[in-house]
Structure 1
Amino acid sequence: MKKGIVFLIFISSLLAKAQLSTSVYYVDISDDKTISENPIQKYTPKSSKNSGKKITVYPDIQFQTLEGIGGAFNEIGGEALFSLPNRMQNKLMQNLFSKNDGSGFSFCRTAIGASDFGIDAYSYSEVEGDYKMENFSFKREKEAVLPYIQKAHKFNKNLRIFASPWSPPGWMKGSGYMDRGVEFPEKNHLKDNPEVYAAYALYFLKYVKNYAKNGVVIDRIIIQNEPDVHTKYPSCVMPPEQMAHFSKEYLRPTFQKNKVKTGVWAGTFRTAQQLDAIEFVADKKMRNSVDGIGIQYTKTRYINDMQSLFPGVNMMHTEGKCFNGKNSMEQARTRLSEVAGYINHGSPNYCYWNMILNETGKSGWDWKQNSLININRDEKTITYNPDYAVIYLMSKFLQPGAKRIASFCRSDIISVENNGEIYLLVQNEKNEVEYFECHVAGEKTVVEVPANSLSAIVVNKK
């Protein structure tokens, strides 16, 4: 059976007795639908009802301020992007980053050195024992990743970037390798050595400064991606105690001494094999060593536990589900529930993983993942995947500065207020039109949305 996602968005007028009018915009995400680069269409209702699935909005009850939606810049995606003619590059990046003519991505991630979606393992410090970083090289970054980010900034000058390493340089680890963690699990860690800690802090400093020289501000550093797992691609196991020690004694003092304002955050924690995020926030000294906590693939009960242990904890989402490269409509239809799980539990953002991959959809370590877009480098063609349509619409309406507000609905919902307008994101799983009865400040309006659709219902006061 086909399923769809419906986004109810944009209820204007917070005044009692306001008269409400509606319009509907939608994306068709039926199983056999091809996604276009501009996926939103206008819908004309075919009938009317006086009732429907109830949504009650409480605009005066407000929670966190949003930092927005985004995705990850990776080396494979950058290499694929620059295989296209310049006009095609610009159109694609406009679709992702322009607030007026595209999705308006606002808060994105990149890797410090190689991620699993780098072409192969690399760092900026390849000379063993170079504790003073005299041989630090940014040359490889300038080939694909830096210009990828710079091009995005042309379409959104307010774009914010956070960065994290998948591994330190190999010589700083017990194993001597950035990758191959599954082969050397007992040595896949940062050396517990003051000289190495100081060198690694200098490595981060040079990374941030090199980006600044090239016109890109790194908003925050998250110390280690998934510090609980040994993998064939770059990884590094880092216990919470070591992460806090490195931050407090080396990284933050290095940034402060050099007047670098980039934030330092713990994570990215998964709580998939252990409760390292819970350990971190439970310890006052550890949590005071950083500016916040980055989480991904984290069950909501653990997010609640973090907030119970540390009310007011600064946290952010760092990576969306990567799936298996099928890029199916079925997978895309799970995104609302996923995003709601983070936004509705206090995260100010959601970060999709691979924005762009090449025609193989594979990493440098030969495994497939989903992406918003695939580029065929030989044929010079662009494929917009089902996730693109879903994330495109979410980014349009979950922009920086929006406030999450309280709402009641018996299905997944995200509700925010921005400049006096209320946006409600909900899902329709029916194979027929569905009616939503929206209650705002004492007024009711019933809205029809199309079957198997991702829709934006715009409700304005007259």
Structure 2
Amino acid sequence: MRVVIIPMMVLVVSIVFSQQKKESLPSIFSTENKSVTIFTSADSTSLKLSRTNSNLKFKAFNQPLETDICIFVNPNKQFQTFLGIGGAITDASAEVFAKLSKEKQEEFLNAYFSSDKGIGYSVIRTNMNSCDFSSKSYAYITEGDKDLQSFSIAIDKKYRLPLLKKAMEIIGKRASLYISPWSPPAFMKDNNNVLQGGKLLPEYYQSWANYYVKYINELQKEGITVWGLTIQNEPMAKQRWESCIYTAEEERDFLKNFLGPTLKKAGLGNKKIIIWDHNRDLITQRVTTILDDPEANKYVWGIGFHWYETWTGGLPKFENVGAVKEMYPNKNLLFTEGCNEKFDSKKYQLWANGERYGKSMINDFNNGTVGWTDWNILLDQNGGPNHVQNFCFSPIHADLSKDELIYTPSYYFIGHFSKFIQKGAKRISSLASRSILLTTSFLNPDGKIVTIVINQENKKVKYYLSIGMVATEIEIQPHAIQTLVY
């Protein structure tokens, strides 16, 4: 009997295991009866998120040649889940918005936050206390009030809260709003100044942790749901505007001993806490210091990062983002700020400004990033207001003297991602056979694939969009970005 039973048991186990293995495989995307629709923006043309092709069919394409230029997409190789794309509603953005006519305000809101009429932003960052893109420095308490008895967000109610509410209403359930402080009140810091860096004094750690709770609760009383927070904007930058320095150890200890427990005690333990919120250059040192501490680690949802490491003259350190994801695969990566610096109205339509966005977004997503947040969503014709003259570009500017909105290439480049990739999408494998093309792809919850392609060449390029044993041939303009939906 044993001779019979053992093979039978092996057979049963084998069948069960094979069924479990089969069920665990990701669903296979089929190109059958699918066609490709292409949206294009291209330098020195009128193409701006324009539909340029539709109903392109897949045909048999077995072994590509070395002379073929290909984008290889594999839907069965899936990675991070997409959160969303958006920008920052700062004091500056809100003040400029308030000065527009009602018609232009409506146009602006739809341009950013409507999925149909605009580019479907769903992520919002906003400042707690003032930042450089405020008309003046301010805090929500009177100086010296460590018990926060005077706490009031009345200053936000004039401009920023009305814009936040309008944006959140359009976004609806897709919204992810997070807050970031640039500096604690002056008396809490060792330099007694909200500007020029300085450090949070240890005796005010608890008071400052309580401050986040107060602010989140006040926003939520106003009907603005707070999804998360970063601990400190650019904690290694001494700036002439609002800034505060934390070493990696100081950020770790403030989080695990004060901020994390305080949020949890206040019933806000579900808010997503994001560490670092600074450039890609020092990200690995910061992250390992905090996440290798189990007590700090348990409070961290993810790691925020910016793109300004190039100020030293080097290239963007995209690979550092990938290294963090490799080391801590269960933590989330979120791009929290980037903009084109040094405003010059003559460069409104500088295509390279948009390309900077496209290249960064593709590389950041391919290195594991779940969401991407631009800086100011709106600035005026001077690149402000900014109380320390740190004037910058935004994707949309308002010329208040003419009541006009100016759409820059950055707006269209961001839109090639934000308009088409749905919340909950899975990034899938997408690789180019030539360095002249950059690409990333996502499988949306509705079953469609979105592939973004950038041509870095000064000439047109023909390439094959290849999935398995089929492909379709596509042409992309010089210095163009395409979104392929299929």
- Classify the TM-score, shorter chain: 0.7 to 0.9
Choose from 402, 426, 429 the match for 2:425. Answer: 402
Q: When you count helix as a share of all residues, which structure comes out higher? A: 2
Structure 1 unaligned blocks of 5 or more: 1-12, 182-187
Task: Name the CA shift for 1:92/1:216 in 2 (closer, same or farther; >3 Å).
Answer: same
Question: Is 2:322 the partner of 1:300?
Answer: no
- 1:360 is displaced (CA, Å) by 0.6
1:25 aligns with 2:39: yes
Post-superposition CA distance 1:245-284 (Å, at most 9, x none) = 2222222222222212322221213254683334333444
Deviation at 1:116, TM superposition (A): 1.7
Tell me the residue number matched to 1:174.
190
Match of 2:329 in 1: 311
- In structure 2, C-alpha distance between the alignment counterparts of 1:85 and 1:286, rounded to whole Å: 47
Counterpart in the other structure of 2:390: 367
**Greater relative contact order (CA < 8 Å, ≥ 6 in sequence):** 1
Contact 1:69–1:399, Cα closer than 8 Å, also in 2: no
Equivalent in 427, 443, 460 of residue 417 of structure 1: 443
* Partner residue in 2 for 1:337: 359
Look up the equivalent residue of 1:443 and give its one-letter code: V
1: CA distance between counterparts of 2:221 and 2:400?
30
8 Å CA contact 2:184–2:244 kept in 1: the answer is yes
Task: Report SS of the residue matched to 1:81.
Answer: helix
Structure 1 residue identity aligned to 2:465: C
Candidates 197, 207, 227, aligned match of 1:199:
207
Task: Give the 3-state SS of the residue equivalent to 2:111 in structure 1.
Answer: helix
| Distance (Å, rounded) in 2 between the aligned partners of 1:292 and 1:367 | 29
Taking a change above 3 Å as real, the CA distance of residues 361 and 62 of structure 1, as seen in their structure-2 partners, is: same
State the distance in 2 between where 1:458 and 1:192 align: 53
Task: Say whether residues 1:79 and 2:88 are aligned partners.
Answer: no
Please point out which of 162, 172, 178 is paired with 1:157.
172
Structure (1 or 2) with the larger CA radius of gyration: 2
Q: In structure 2, how many angstroms separate the alpha carbons of the residues matched to 1:157 and 1:20?
A: 30
Q: Confirm or deny: 8 A CA contact 1:361 1:369 kept in the other structure.
A: yes
Deviation at 1:289, TM superposition (A): 4.2
| Counterpart-to-counterpart distance in 2, 1:65 and 1:373 | 28
Which residue pairs with 1:346 in the alignment?
368
Q: Percent identity?
A: 26
Give matches, 1:118-137, under 5 Å: 118-128=134-144, 130-137=145-152
Is 1:277 aligned with 2:257?
no
Contact 1:27 1:454 in 2 (8 A): yes
Q: Is the 8 A contact 1:375 1:381 kept in 2?
A: yes
1:436 and 2:453 matched: no
Does the C-alpha gap of structure 1 residues 312 and 132 become closer, same or farther in structure 2, counting only changes over 3 Å?
Answer: same
Q: What one-letter code is carried by the residue in structure 2 that aligns with 1:373? A: I
One-letter code of the match for 2:304?
G
Structure-1 residue corresponding to 2:271: 262
Aligned length in residues: 432
Aligned to 1:185: none
CA spacing shift, 1:262–1:178, aligned 2, 3 Å = same
SS class of match (1:457):
strand
Does the Cα contact within 8 Å between 1:220 and 1:262 map onto a contact in 2?
yes
The one-letter amino acid paired with 1:426 is V
Rounded Cα–Cα distance in structure 2 between residues aligned with 1:134 and 1:414 = 50
Q: 1:265 and 1:63, CA in 2 relative to 1: closer, same or farther beyond 3 A? A: same
Separation in 1 of the partners of 2:152 and 2:196?
A: 23
In structure 2, runs of 5+ residues without a counterpart are 1-27, 310-316
> CA RMSD of the aligned region, Å?
2.5
Amino acid in the other structure paired with 1:306 = V
Residue aligning to 2:199: 189
TM superposition score normalised by structure 1: 0.87
1:8 matched residue in structure 2: none
Q: TM-score, normalised by structure 2?
A: 0.83
Map of 2:251 onto structure 1: 243
Letter in 2 for 1:413: T
Aligned partners of 2:190 and 2:53: how far apart in 1? 63
Seen in structure 2, the aligned counterparts of structure 1 residues 273 and 451 have a Cα distance that, compared at 3 Å, is closer
- Alignment partners' CA distance in 2, 1:396 and 1:150: 21
SS in 2 for 1:361: coil
